[in-house]
Structure 1
Amino acid sequence: MSNMVALLPPSGNSSPSRPHCLIVEDQVLVALSIEAYLEETGFEIEGPIRSGSEALFWLRAHTPQAVILDYGLADGSCTALARELRRRDIPFLVYSGYRLGSDLPLELHGVPWIEKPCRREELMTALQTILVGHVRASIGFA
């Protein structure tokens, strides 16, 4: 995954070689599995955070480079959190046991949706895609 790290710009709260990823997931074992895998591939992990309200509070003082977000959190759906991530232009993907349906909230339109369970490589590919797409858009190569 060194190609991914090389494409990431330095940010105020991470080193260029270890991008920050926030995990918002209410299932502890799932969150720990994601955390272990991402650390192995060179990420610095924030969280895991179990609720949308806790994540919104955390975001007041922090800006991760990416977020992996479960749709159903300890305090309900991730809609308010997704709205804030969009407002702040923080790239995110949804990793959820819920099937992607036609009643998708507006805040989640166009967001990569990975259904649990999936192969680790599928999750990493989606994460790399949102990070690279965000970097390209920020420098005018959308």
Structure 2
Amino acid sequence: MLAAGIAAVIGSFIPWAKVTAPILGSMSLSGTDGKDGWIVVVLGLVVAAYGGLSLRRQSVPIVAPIFAGLAALALFGIGVWKIVDLQATEAQMRESMSGEDDPLGIGKAISAAAQVSVGAGLWLVTLAGLLGAAATALVMLSRYRAAAS
């Protein structure tokens, strides 16, 4: 959980998307270029804090693993949502550039040459959310079994 939280925080600062287009060149966008990246930082810190407390074997409130699990699930959800949104935006861009109001086909040629790719940061956030949720579930399950024994 600690590693997943730290990975999510790091992932919000590295590129989430890269856009390459003729004439314009390349441009990378990280999560912290918008508000979603800062939300990811806070959620990642929640997961990391619970992971750190669990490693130190400190007593934590009963709701702490629930909050950490929900934060990890939110990280995963944000990652999937942003990946799908990025791919939909690329398709919409290509469609709008090669419409009927492009008699010479210049827009179609530019849209074919333009590339939008999902960055490593967004993949890292998504994976961190998935692994953080799984780790939180395992910790909760092991504590439940220990309490039942």
* TM-score, reference length from structure 1: 0.26
Q: Which has the higher helix share?
A: 2
Looking at both structures, which has the greater relative contact order when contacts are Cα pairs under 8 Å and sequence separation is at least 6?
A: 2
Q: Which has the higher strand share?
A: 1
Query: Which protein is bigger by CA-based radius of gyration?
Result: 2
* TM-score, reference length from structure 2: 0.25
